[in-house]
Amino acid sequence: MRPDWSISVLSTPLTSTPHDTRRLRCLQGSCDFEKLQARPKVHERLPKWAQRVPALQERIFIPDSQGNTPVEGDEDISEEFREMNIVVRMPHIYFI
């Protein structure tokens, strides 16, 4: 558990370092839930390089785990993904 390892400071995927890979592997093993709950909650944000990625030119639809293709007017469509021309149901995860 490393609260100083923020997702927003990870390197661009094309220039990732072995250090980034080690940090992600370590984060995967974080399972001391009492310590995690006691930490102050700071919501993550996208890295600067990811903020510059343009929306897809053609809209795509990503099915859910049951294979159901979402409809653009559905209430549980992710606004963040929709802005990138991707229609997908809201993921049930928050990075803190």
Which tens digit of pLDDT belongs to each residue from 39-94? 888 878 888 888 899 999 999 999 988 999 999 888 999 998 999 999 999 877 66
User: Do residues 89 and 78 make contact, with C-beta atoms less than 8 angstroms apart?
Assistant: yes
Digit-coded pLDDT (tens) for 19-42 = 666 666 555 555 566 776 788 888
End-to-end alpha-carbon separation of the chain, Å?
12
User: Could you tell me how far CA 75 lies from the centroid of its own chain?
Assistant: 20
Q: How many CA atoms, within 13 angstroms, populate the side-chain half-sphere of residue 19? A: 6
Distance set, CA 23 to CA 38, 39, 80, 81 (Å):
21, 18, 26, 26
Burial class for 80, CB neighbours closer than 10 Å (0-12, 13-18, 19+)? exposed
